Chain A
Amino acid sequence: MKRELTKATICLFAISVICFTSCNSGQKKQKSEEQEIVESVNVDGKLVDDFKKSKLIFYSLPSPLETAMLIKRAGATYNEDLLNPLSNIDKYSTNRQKALNLGVYSADLSYTSLFDQTQSSIRYMANAKKLADGLGIIDAIDENTMRKLEENIDNRDVMLDIISETFMSSNAYLTENDRPAIAVMVLVGGWVEGLYLATRLTNGSVENNKRLIDRIVYQKLSLYTVINLLEEYKSNEDVNYILTKVGELNEIFEQVEINNTSKVEAETDAETRVTTIKAESEAVISPVVFDKLMKKVEEIRTEFIS
């Protein structure tokens, strides 16, 4: 998630919301003393204009759950050997390792759950809990979560809902407690693991499963989001390092061509409240580039989980 604000506008925004800190929902405020201070200062008019015009920018990556769904719906199979071994958890002592592998284990957890591997799901959730605890993420995954998961092993929908909620809670906790760099590393760890699983499940061929190849190729669009997210926090040494690795991946994705071959048009059905966006698109990846991509993803993922 990226918020494109200058320090000054952040401050002005902060002042404007300070008086709302006591409650969770909306509040109506009188012009506060703080605002009056700001307004009484002879502030550069441009600054005020910038404040009014400033936009918050968010980037939403495909979550581990969405990626696992894409993999499954592309007709891929389950392969436990591809997962990050549970025993690796003992290796993770730094915040970077914990954050990246919280993402990695979350992706593995989503994959196991989508394929109804319930016992593995419980074990991967337990590992995710340990890493979340290690990062000081309070209450995102607690004993109650584990119990609910065990009680619902026969109900995939509930299990997926629990996984979705724990992922959101971890991300929200980090974002809202001034640890956005850690939050971004969790997201990127999950994204890389999803890409790793997808590429490996092709068995190295661009011909075996074209739907899965299609999903992989279009991750080029998600990579734009990944890079923007990382750029925002590159002053953090760990994030900057990951950005370097992702940059190497980007060099390969630049050799993938994605083109809209028709105009993007939308058709909306007001009754059903569905908008269908129609555009023909063409994505091309050569076997050579795919091989390079697969190797690079494996290299980065191996580094993340080691």
Chain B
Amino acid sequence: MRIVIVLIFCLGLIGSVNGQCMGFAKDVGKEALGSYLHDGNYNATILEEGEKAELYKTFFSEQKYRVAISKVDELPDIHFRVLDRNGNVLFDNVKYDYQLVWDFEVASTQMLIIELNVLEHNKESEELVAGCVSVMFGIEPDKKKRKK
């Protein structure tokens, strides 16, 4: 019975728990792309310690992409991997000190999977941390900077 009450209660609140990461994505996520042009897509949500997310995206050949994952400082490191459609791991940030900004080029157009796993601080702790995580894609701009 109590679980039912909880379900109704939380369904009513789902709307209010959203709407939090737009500012974070604009101010922090986009900034992490540096000189790369943000593609304009919005990929951000609240993730909690231990939570996983996957993002499917087609990477086109002859374009250089920057993948910039941003998280609030309070969250632990994020384990970030890039896999092909068959699950082969093509990049793993564990090997690079959990770097969250990395550039990718593909020799031929491929659909790739960006896999995120928010690590856990301390399993004994009674505290849980959650916060905004954004995944931004940037495209290397043309060399020409200004219209002549």
For the complex, what is the distance from the CA of A260 to the CA of B137, rounded to whole Å? 24
Q: Binary interface profile of A, 17-29, with partner B (CB < 8 Å = 1, else 0)?
A: 1101101111111
Contact B38 A168 (CB under 8 A): yes
Give CA–CA (A116, B72) in the complex, Å.
37
The reply on A241 being an interface residue by CB < 8 A is no
Establish whether residues A41 and B2, one from each chain, have CB atoms under 8 Å apart when the complex forms: yes
A296 in the interface (beta carbon within 8 A): no
B101 to chain A, nearest CB (A): 7
Say how far A114's CB is from chain B's closest CB, in angstroms.
9
Task: Please determine whether B88 and A264 come into contact, CB atoms closer than 8 angstroms.
Answer: yes
Q: Number of B residues whose C-beta is below 8 Å from A?
A: 89
Contact indicator A43/B16 (Cβ below 8 Å): no
Interface string of A23-46 (1 = CB under 8 A from B): 111111111001101101101000
Q: Is B112 an interface residue (CB 8 A)?
A: yes
State in angstroms the CA–CA spacing of A164 and B39 once bound together: 6
Q: Which residues of B contact A37 (CB under 8 A)?
A: 2, 6
- A285 within 8 Å of B (CB atoms): no
Residues of B within 8 A of A157 (CB): 37, 141, 145-146
Contact yes or no, B129 A28, CB < 8 A? yes
Q: Evaluate whether A221 and B111 lie within 8 angstroms (CB atoms) in the complex, with A27-B74, A60-B57, A172-B22 already known.
A: yes
Name A273-295 residues within 8 Å CB distance of B.
273-281
**A86: interface (CB < 8 Å):** no
For chain A, give the interface size range.
35 or more
| B58 CB contact (under 8 Å) in A11, A58, A225, A270 | A225
A residues near B42, Cβ cutoff 8 Å: 1, 168, 171-172, 175
CA–CA, A15 to B91, complex, Å?
A: 34
* CB contacts between A and B, total, < 8 Å: 280
Question: Which of A61-69, A123-131, A198-206, A243-251 makes up part of the contact surface?
Answer: A61-69
Flag if A24 contacts B23 (CB, 8 Å).
Answer: yes
Please, how many angstroms separate the alpha-carbon atoms of A59 and B42 in the complex? 10
Question: Are B15 and A20 interface neighbours, CB within 8 A?
Answer: no
Residues on the A chain within 8 Å of B90, using CB: 264-266, 275, 277
Q: Which of A49-57, A76-84, A91-99, A231-239 contacts B (4 or more CB under 8 A)?
A: A49-57
Answer whether residue A102 sits at the interface, using C-beta atoms and an 8 A cutoff: no
Give 4 new A-B contacts, CB below 8 A, not counting A58-B53, A161-B37, A218-B109.
A11-B14, A37-B6, A63-B39, A277-B104
Partner-B contacts on A (CB < 8 A): 1, 3, 7-8, 10-18, 20-21, 23-31, 34-35, 37-38, 40-41, 43, 52, 54-66, 69-70, 73, 116, 118, 154-157, 160-161, 163-165, 167-169, 171-173, 175-178, 214-215, 218, 221-222, 224-225, 228, 260, 264-266, 268, 270, 272-281
User: Which residues of chain B have a CB within 8 Å of any CB of chain A?
Assistant: 2-3, 6-7, 9-11, 13-26, 30, 37-48, 50-60, 62-64, 71-75, 82, 84, 86, 88, 90-91, 95-96, 99, 101-112, 126-132, 135, 137, 139, 141, 144-147
